[in-house]
Every structure is written in structure tokens, then in C-alpha cells.
Amino acid sequence: MSEHLNIAAAGRPERVALYVRVSTREQTVENQLLPLRDYARSRGWVIAEEFSDAGVSGALDHRPALNKLMEAARKRRVDRVMVARLDRLGRTVKHLLLTLEEFRVLGVQFCSLAESMDTATPVGKMAFTLIAAVAEFERELIRERIFAGLNRAKAQGKRLGRPRKAVDDAQVLALRQQGLSLRQIGRTLGISKDAVANVLSVMGSKTEARAPSKPAPGNGPSA
């Protein structure tokens, strides 16, 4: 049995959180709060808390009131979240879906007045499923466009990935002659060990790519 049904069976009115957002300080959140309050009271729900982000863009990842709302939901201080419109809650379809999915896992119902969406009803659950399906369809389209672009670039002979770092051959050789290992040279110049080996190989060969040998004691030229 879901938490929503448990609440009804216990005879306890649902504790609802109202979330509103406006993008500029010149706008008022009351235009959203008034119909939300009326709807909650008409259903016999108790307004536990109101969360208001005024002058906050929906494009922001973190919004003070929204963060507090999520904290209240995670601590089970509310049974339901209400908004005037879906775009008041989610900055993107992905963000909206992630938020609604978290509510579902927490057993918190969600209601949006403009879209007549209530996840406690079969129609509301179907609407959520449709939104998720559209979002997945959009992701697949984006993925297909990316792969098509990569394949087209390869067919045209374009180099993909990050541009290669320019290597100073003379500097590589000078550091090698100082006795530095391939790894040390690469770390000094900010290139890979393999890139160092390639430079030394091209410049003169496999012997340059090996560490310089030191004369054994007693085998040096006699004084």
C-alpha cells in the first residue's frame, strides 16, 4: 500500500507544500499562491509550508527556496508538492523528471494546476510517463545527431578530439641529454610519455629513446 493510501486510511489530512517562482523582483508570487491556496483548502489539505523563489531564474541549478523544498520532502515534512505550472519547478525537462522521480521514491505526491497533473491519480501517472517518454525521445535524437556529425567529420578527413599540444623537438632532446627519463620529460613539457618517445624516435632513433647509459666504474678512459 502506498504512503498516499496510508495517509487517507489514517484519516490525516495531507500536508502540502506550495512552491512558486518568479524571474524578476517586479513580479509578484501572489498570482501563483492564491489559486494554490484555494485549491489546497478545497481538497481539505493542510498547507504545511510555502516556498518562494522571487527574482530567481529557472535556468539556475540551485534556487534557495527549491533547495529548502527538497529538504522538506526528504525529511518527510510534507506529503504533497503543488505548483501553478510545471515550468515553475523544472528548469529543463531533465531537471523536472529527476525532481518528480525523487518525489515518487520519497512517496511525495505532486500536483500542477495549469496542466491538471496529479501523480496520485492514474491520469497524472500517465502524464508523467508521457513526459519521460518525450524526454527519452529527445535524448535519442540528440545522440543520433552527434553520431551523424562525427561520422561526417571522419568522412571529410577531419581530426576529432582535442587538438594535439605542440612539441618543441629541440627541448625534448635537450632534456633527454640532461638524463631525464621519458616520463620526466613528458611531465616537464606537459605531454605524454609516448609523445616524447615518438619525438626521439623521429629525431634519431631508437637509441635516443633509451635512457643514456652511464660508464661502469673502472671502465672509463685512463687518466
SS3 of the chain: the string is CCHHHHHHHHCCCCEEEEEEEECCCCCCCHHHHHHHHHHHHHCCCEEEEEEEEECCCCCCCCCHHHHHHHHHHHCCCCCEEEECCHHHCCCCHHHHHHHHHHHHHHCCEEEECCCCEECCCHHHHHHHHHHHHHHHHHHHHHHHHHHHHHHHHHHCCCCCCCCCCCCCHHHHHHHHHCCCCHHHHHHHHCCCHHHHHHHHHHHHCCCCCCCCCCCCCCCCCCC
pTM assigned to the model: 0.57
- Position 11 scores a pLDDT of 66
Sheet holding 15-22, edge to edge: 46-54, 15-22, 80-83, 109-112, 117-118
- From 88, 118, 133, give the residue that closes a domain: 133
Does one domain contain both 123 and 176?
no
Looking at the fold, whether 174 and 121 belong to one and the same domain comes out as: no
81 in Cβ contact with 103 (< 8 Å):
yes
**Pairwise CA distance, residues 59 & 55, whole Å:** 12
pLDDT computed for residue 61 by the predictor: 59
187 & 107 share domain: no
Residue 156 has what pLDDT? 78
Question: For residues 14 and 125, which has the higher predicted lDDT (pLDDT)?
Answer: 14
* 18 pLDDT more than 90: yes
Residue 57 annotated among the catalytic residues of the structure: no
State whether 102 and 198 are in the same domain.
no
Question: What are the φ and ψ backbone dihedral angles of 121, each rounded to 5 degrees?
Answer: -110, 155
- On the question of pLDDT at 89 being above 90, the answer is no
* 179 and 106 inside one domain: no
Q: In whole angstroms, how far apart are CA 75 and each of 4, 63, 128, 173? A: 16, 18, 24, 63
Residue 104 lies in a domain: yes
Per annotation, catalytic residue among 23, 57, 181, 201: 23
Task: Answer whether residue 217 is part of any domain.
Answer: no
Residue 190 maps to a domain: yes
Closest of 200, 32, 27, 15 to residue 108, by C-alpha: 15
Residue 129 falls inside a structural domain = yes
Same domain, 32 and 109: yes
Instruction: Assess whether 121 and 176 both reside in one domain.
Output: no
Same domain, residue pair 45 and 98: yes
The reply to whether 12 and 103 lie within a common domain is: yes
Clarify whether residues 8 and 108 are in a common domain.
yes
Q: What is the pLDDT of residue 76?
A: 93
Higher-scoring residue by pLDDT: 193, 203: 193
Residue 84 lies in a domain: yes
Domain harbouring 51, CATH code: 3.40.50.1390
Print the domain residue range for 113. 3-133
Q: Are residues 108 and 60 in the same domain?
A: yes
Phi, psi of 14 (to 5 degrees): -70, 140
- Asked, for residue 215, whether it belongs to a domain, the answer is no
Are both 125 and 198 inside the same structural domain? no
Q: How many domains does the chain have?
A: 2
Q: What is the pLDDT of residue 212?
A: 55
Q: Considering the domain boundaries, does residue 93 fall inside one?
A: yes
Residue 155: Cβ within 10 Å count: 8
- Do the domain assignments include residue 90? yes
Average pLDDT over residues 62-80: 92
